[in-house]
Amino acid sequence: MSQRHRSLTAIAGAVLALALLAGCAPEPAPTPTSTPTASSEPSASPSESPSESPSESPTATATIPTDCNELGSEASRLEMVGDMTLQSDGQGFERPAPEGATLVLGCDWIVGDATGLLLLISTATPDAVAAAVATLPDQGYSCQVADDFGAQFCELPGSGPDTEEFVVARDDVWIYYAPVNRNGRAFLSDIASQIFG
């Protein structure tokens, strides 16, 4: 065998050996990606410290005016009693009221011989107020919950036009309202909104 033939055979063998070795080499490991994977450990979250139990929201407190001349809006007050004279503070009137009620504000307006308004605002325990409302239907009142101020609204028709009696009651507040020969519903609505918010 010539020298040249041996050299070509050796080169061919070396190329074949390199090819076989290359075929057996392991593939390179994949480059790690930044895609998060699920783990069995819990994810970080704000630590749950014992928190205070939600405190009960304070009950709405009624705001009862202490002056008859501060009741309702000025416009509705002037329309209802602007021409009337305040006669008394409402003491001594016997009208439906809860047991143990305390008169907070009484207003007795009158003009002429047969036109006026009696308003008595009292407070009592909420249970006493609820119990008193329950007795009103037996006295001829019709009662329902007023949508605008969320109180019991009870009405007793009078013997003539605009001689109704009304009771508005919520929580510990009792409003007795009796217009005579004058439509006083707008003034009553303003007073209730002022008191109950």
The packing angle between helices 185-196 and 74-81, to 10°, is 140
Pairwise CA distance, residues 141 & 121, whole Å: 18
pLDDT tens digits, 132-158? 999 999 999 999 998 877 899 999 998
pLDDT tens digits, 38-77? 333 434 433 443 333 333 333 446 899 999 999 999 999 9
**pLDDT greater than 60 at residue 184:** yes
Q: In the prediction, which pLDDT does 177 show? A: 97
Higher-pLDDT residue of 49, 162? 162
Domain boundaries, the chain: 68-196
CATH 3.30.870 matches 68-196: no
Alpha carbon of 155 to those of 97, 146, 165, 184: distances in Å?
14, 11, 6, 13
Among the listed ranges 1-15, 116-130, 148-162, which one has the minimum average pLDDT value?
Answer: 1-15
Pairwise CA distance, residues 153 & 132, whole Å: 13
Q: What confidence category does residue 162 fall into, taking pLDDT thresholds of 50, 70 and 90?
A: confident
Pairwise CA distance, residues 143 & 167, whole Å: 9
Q: In the prediction, which pLDDT does 148 show? A: 78
Among the listed ranges 11-20, 74-83, 95-104, which one has the minimum average pLDDT value?
Answer: 11-20
Pairwise CA distance, residues 98 & 126, whole Å: 9
Q: Provide, for the chain, the percentages of residues in helix, strand and coil under a 3-state DSSP scheme, each rounded to the nearest 5.
A: 30, 25, 45
Rounded to two decimals, the pTM is 0.69
Structure tokens at 29: 């490991």
Higher-pLDDT residue of 5, 65? 65
What phi, psi does 194 have (nearest 5°)?
Answer: -65, -40
Residue environment code for 159-193, b if the CB has 16+ CB neighbours within 10 A, otherwise e: eeeeebbbbbbbbbbbbbbbbbbbebeebbbbbbe
**pLDDT greater than 70 at residue 183:** yes
Q: What confidence category does residue 172 fall into, taking pLDDT thresholds of 50, 70 and 90?
A: very high
